[in-house]
Amino acid sequence: MNKLCIHGGRQLHGSVSVSGSKNAALPILSACLLSGGEKHISNVPNLKDVETLMSLLKAMGVKISQTGASTYCVSAKKLSSYTAPYDLVKKMRASILVLGPLLARFGSAIVSFPGGCAIGNRSVDMHLTGLQAMGAQIIIEHGYIKAESEGRLKGTEIYHDTVSVGATENLMMAAVLADGKTVINNAAREPEIIDLGKCLIKWGAKITGLGSSKIEIEGVEKLSGGTFNVMPDRIEAATYMAAIASVGGKVTLFNANINHLSAVIAKLKESGLNFFLKENCIEIEMSNEQPKAVDIKTAPYPGFPTDMQAPFTVINALAKGTSVIEETIFENRLMHVPELRRMGANISVKDNIARVDGRAELFGAEVTASDLRASAALIIAGLAAKGETIISGLEHVERGYEDIQDKFKQLGAEIT
């Protein structure tokens, strides 16, 4: 999909089923490298990022077969290579997640050093210093991270200066096969970390403290295989909620876990979105009133997720009143703002803070998406705007939203 054309201004009605979580599926598929046993992973979303990781695993010799609509059988009995090449890491930075598992099981890994990306520097220093503290020798040569370990990695105490989802995951995966106990202090607490941890525990790992900022892992010699069902995508669920808040209407969401969405739901309620919890679904409804402006400051979980900052900017652009949006996780994650201005939004940016003066209407325009969540924001803006919006740069959206066009069409959107 290169471009989307949206005729906005139609309220959304109907139901949507939330897919499996991208950010949980990627580490869980990487964790399949930790043992040779067969794993059956279900609720895996059909996304470009998942396809990229599967290509990477297959290129190393991992056998992957699709056994159901969203279920895969993964077997990493023997590998032919321990290398994650530039062309795949360049497509998706989360490829760095194979580093910890490869090193822990095979004592060797060569992973292309991820460069910067659209939303910021995204350094991997904490991944590397953590592995070094566990005894790995690491050199950076010709654009590659070359990591070796003589024998098993050694359990140790690690402290992170910044909360990092990826570094917590990589080190947790490395530590499950290490000799002795590893403690990760100032660990990330995101639900996806808990999902990965639950999966590792199911396959034989000894982990405590999941969901807290201190995770303790007692290394084991081997993991087994088994099954695992990936959690629902909380950011996808929240994106549909933000769409209803911006566009109006009434929608039922299936497979959403509201326990993962406390911060987002609190802010959406403040903006005027109504939630009705049913036994197996959530009904959300926006009255015909304009949303209310709501201040947002992104923070690691359980704070407001940076991945929802761009979609929320659209709600505020259409809201009654003025709001302040502060991005604290990434240095360059307000790139949707100039595009939203092309659609009439009143937003000024200084450093990483956006001041939004809401207005009752946006109008359609040609805009370009810079990254995954900015794409979602522009789609929501297009759905809310008067007239035609043409969005290009949409290769990003397929990385993280399963069937987004069909799901919005199902809700009555005019989108091609």
Q: Which residues contact ligand UD1 (rule: CB under 6 A)? A: 23, 26, 94, 120-127, 162, 164-167, 306-307, 329-330
Can you tell me whether residue 31 is helix, strand or coil? helix
Can you tell me whether residue 365 is helix, strand or coil? coil
By C-beta, is 170 or 252 nearer to ligand UD1? 170
Give Cα separations from 405 to 212, 343, 362 (angstroms).
37, 20, 21
Q: Which long-range contacts (CB under 8 A, 24 or more apart) does 203-208 make?
A: 203/31, 203/34, 203/35, 203/37, 203/39, 203/228, 204/35, 205/176, 206/176, 207/172, 207/176
Least separation in angstroms between residue 361's CB and ligand UD1 is 30
Least separation in angstroms between residue 307's CB and ligand UD1 is 5
Strands of 281-286's sheet, edge to edge?
Answer: 12-17, 249-254, 281-286, 273-277
Query: How do strand 273-277 and strand 249-254 relate by DSSP bridges?
Result: unpaired
Give Cα separations from 84 to 237, 298, 383 (angstroms).
31, 31, 39
The active-site residue out of 32, 117, 199, 281 is: 117
* 73 is annotated as an active-site residue: no
By C-beta, is 126 or 384 nearer to ligand UD1? 126
By C-beta, is 86 or 275 nearer to ligand UD1? 86
Least separation in angstroms between residue 306's CB and ligand UD1 is 5
Least separation in angstroms between residue 143's CB and ligand UD1 is 17
Least separation in angstroms between residue 270's CB and ligand UD1 is 22
By C-beta, is 380 or 411 nearer to ligand UD1? 380
Query: How do strand 388-392 and strand 366-368 relate by DSSP bridges?
Result: parallel
CA nearest neighbour of 240 among 359, 23, 399, 407: 407
By C-beta, is 100 or 204 nearer to ligand UD1? 100
CA-CA distance, 342 to 212, in Å (whole number)? Answer: 42
Least separation in angstroms between residue 130's CB and ligand UD1 is 8
Query: How do strand 137-141 and strand 144-148 relate by DSSP bridges?
Result: antiparallel
What HEC string does 54-103 produce? HHHHHHCCCEEEEEECCEEEEECCCCCCCEECHHHHHHCHHHHHHHHHHH
By C-beta, is 68 or 116 nearer to ligand UD1? 116
CA nearest neighbour of 374 among 344, 340, 415: 340
By C-beta, is 188 or 415 nearer to ligand UD1? 188
Q: Which residue is nearest to ligand UD1, using beta carbons?
A: 166
Query: How do strand 388-392 and strand 3-7 relate by DSSP bridges?
Result: antiparallel
Least separation in angstroms between residue 371's CB and ligand UD1 is 10
Active site residues per annotation: 117
